[in-house]
Structure 1
């Protein structure tokens, strides 16, 4: 009877995550019995042994953890009483997913710059994975493209080889989006079913996964705006996607990236903290007591609020760049810092009545801000300059706050360095009439600057409750169990 119960317990899969033990696979019942007798400090009382057998439905990892405890007075709580700590593998997976989103944003920018986004005239989420494979299929796709306003108004002289190039760009962009869905959703289901993440974390990541599907729908909604035949009958119309939908598409991509990047980095740092590492570059022995006092310091709290505001400003500047790309506003006023020999264009050009569509011109202001290429470029210049100066001020502020964690100060310096590089890329893109390599690098730089600011925020984040509890449990376990238990925990 006892042997059968041990065999049953050994076959059970663990349901909680414990960084204290390294039992990763079920072992045989004989090996389990040997492990219990080898590590137990004294023969187990019969009542204790019967209670363990009665709890054989619990995971074997919890059974071994209870069996090797030196005494009932040990203050270390059993793993079953600790919250689920997100493992480092989840953080690495999230960082890989965010890198894939970063690649999609860059490829999407190249697709827009090469005017390839309208080459695929149908949205087929499943069957569209394969490109045309035969000559007949290529010609059929080319015939569909010939019916679009872009071909009739701009690319009527394009050949089949020209079409294959722009088709490949758009197809690659969509393929990366499908790949992101597989890379993100499949591991999420695995981590959720195996209970490697808490329920709250699962729901948060499930929300990010829903954004991936919504992003695909929004992308097709954006493409449809450039395929509308009404463009053929609109005076002065240009066959391109709506700048509003383009900005929404980019904004959702940046939100998806920020969610994955921030969650992944936080999970990795929490895991390291739970294993005894220092917080944000502070000494590991003193940081547990110092975290609360540092984050409660008024200067640090003010710095954190400023970092959040700057992160929002970086995001707003990136979205304004989507309007610049959507209206080809970068092809105007290719000089810096002046625009036509002055700091700002004339007021009648910035707020031209030609863009007002309401009879009383009540929409004059907002339509010029979002639809006038001159105003759009001017706004982007102002936002970019403000972002750069604010990053400079935040970097100077990081030198003056004495209690600021060392890693937060280093991350702020990295953000300021990235802001300098981004300004150089933006000015070069403007002066050289928006070449594809420079423009793509400029868009990638905006995401990297956002990443740097997210890193600053993560360095000012208090470790999660699960990480703090596991760190305390491990520290008490090392003090109370001695060398034998430390060997098991290693």
Structure 2
């Protein structure tokens, strides 16, 4: 195919010489021939680009690690698990947005799996809820029907979490017994199964912080933003580890030439992925402090680029994690920085010959980044409507997925 395209390019060059030879006569004919010459040159450039890209694809196609059938099964399982973790993160975000997370005031691994069915059981559950600060301060006029809605939201989140745990542990035991896991994969699977159990315990530890009586009776009952960030952060780590493992077992790895530009692009991709991760994590502080309701304007915060109450807490470091204004300001800066970094990386990558799949990962990352920042600004300007805010939270997972995909495409080929 490469020889054929090269021969075709030579023929096109000879055609240009013929056109130049015939370029005589009236000015109209000369203009017509000049247009034809320009068109032929454009065709030559396109053919050269196609030849170069196919040459790279052909060179990398013969230098990939073969994937066994068992690896494909395990890889699909890990991708399915990462999808379930993503569902848990999205459902947890909706639970937080609807202020349903404190409706279940106790935690039992098996006992609470059966929801109340009779009116007496529902009243007993409602009476338990009435003994805690959220009902006393915020929801003292709540009816039983309204309580059922927030209870079912939290119940769905907890049951989904249990399903995630089973999705990790049961197939892992089966694959282990069948001998489908290599030595290195066994360590990763043990980490994932242990971490998913830790994630469930961390979720209850987070909920307990919202059930405690505050020192000041006027404090709004909410979970600790620190514990919320830890819960979300651990879920993101679990998601990233599962997604990376699935991609490693399903996608053949390219053997790219280790040029200076490629090394720079790889470091750029790693830094950008880290920036996207910390931007998503900062969203937990925004949600935990309801910081999205403080300044609902963009690009300025109110009438100022830097709000006056940015550093009102003492000590100053406390503002970063506990001042809603500072938390929103930081999230804005991180979001804008992420989009700027992704745009710069995309422009830089256009100078480097890359396989088609890698180019597609870059394009998807850029598209999702601009979609995500649009969702974030819209959520802010519209005073955080629940559907739009939940979509924005889901977008952070999509953006992180694209960043991981690109990192996977650019990783070093093992020697």
Settle same-fold status: TM greater than 0.5: yes
Match of 2:311 in 1: 351
Show CA shifts across 1:407-437 (max 9, x none).
2121011001000100110001000100000
1:298 to 260, 269, 276: 260
- The structure 2 residue matched to 1:397, chosen from 342, 345, 348, is 348
Q: Secondary structure at the match of 1:400?
A: coil
Question: 1:143 deviation in Å?
Answer: 0.5
| CA 83–337 in structure 1, closer or farther in 2 if over 3 Å, else same | closer
Deviations 1:262-308 (A, max 9, x none): 10011011xxx4xxxxx55xxxxxxxxxx1xx252221111111101
1:180 equivalent among 147, 164, 186: 164
Structure-2 residue corresponding to 1:328: 290
Alignment of 1:88-487 (within 5 A): 88-229=72-213, 231=214, 233-234=215-216, 236-269=218-251, 273=252, 279-280=253-254, 291=255, 294-346=256-308, 349-352=309-312, 355-356=313-314, 364-402=315-353, 404-462=354-412
- Deviation, 1:84, is 8.2
Task: Tell me how far 1:342 sits from its aligned partner.
Answer: 1.8
Distance 2:191 2:271 in 1: 24
Deviation at 1:405, TM superposition (A): 2.8
Taking a change above 3 Å as real, the CA distance of residues 148 and 295 of structure 1, as seen in their structure-2 partners, is: farther
Q: Deviations over 1:88-122 (max 9, x none)?
A: 01111111111111110000000000000000000
| 2:51 corresponds to | none
Structure 2 contact 266–411 (Cα < 8 Å) conserved: no
Query: Do 2:169 and 2:193's aligned partners in 1 also have CA atoms closer than 8 Å?
Result: yes
Distance 1:149 1:127 in 2: 24
Q: Give the direction of change, closer, same or farther, for the CA distance of 1:423–1:90 in structure 2 (3 Å limit).
A: same
Task: Give, in whole Å, the separation in 1 of the partners of 2:144 and 2:88.
Answer: 26
Superposition TM-score, scaled by structure 1 size? 0.69
Question: Does the aligned pair in 2 maintain the 1:119–1:166 contact within 8 Å?
Answer: yes
Once residues 334 and 166 of structure 1 are traced to their aligned partners in structure 2, the CA distance between those partners, rounded to angstroms, is 26
1:86, 1:386 → 2: CA distance?
Answer: 41
- The gaps in structure 2 that reach 5 residues or longer are 1-65
Contact 2:228/2:288 (8 A) holds in 1:
yes
TM-superposed deviation, 1:457: 1.0
Q: CA deviation at 1:461?
A: 2.7
Q: CA RMSD in A?
A: 1.6
Q: Alpha-carbon deviation of 1:406?
A: 2.5
SS of 1:123's partner is coil
Secondary structure in structure 1 of the residue aligned to 2:106: coil
Cα distance, 1:316–1:83 mapped onto 2, change above 3 Å: closer
Distance 1:162 1:83, change over 3 A: closer
Q: In structure 1, what is the Cα distance between the partners aligned to 2:218 and 2:384?
A: 23
Q: Is the 8 A contact 1:318 1:446 kept in 2?
A: yes
Spell out, residue by residue over 1:233-252, the C-alpha distance to the aligned partner (whole angstroms, 9 max, x if none): 41541100000000000000
- 2:270 and 2:118 map into 1 onto residues whose CA distance is 52
CA deviation profile, 1:384-408 (whole Å, cap 9, x unmatched): 0000100100111111113x33321
Which whole-Å deviations, capped at 9, do the CAs of 1:53-87 have from their partners, x for residues lacking one? Answer: xxxxxxxxxxxxxxxxxxxxxxxxxxxxx998852
The equivalent residue for 1:287 is none
- Conserved? CA contact 1:84–1:198, under 8 Å: no
Cα distance change, pair 464–172 in 1 and its aligned pair in 2 (3 A): farther
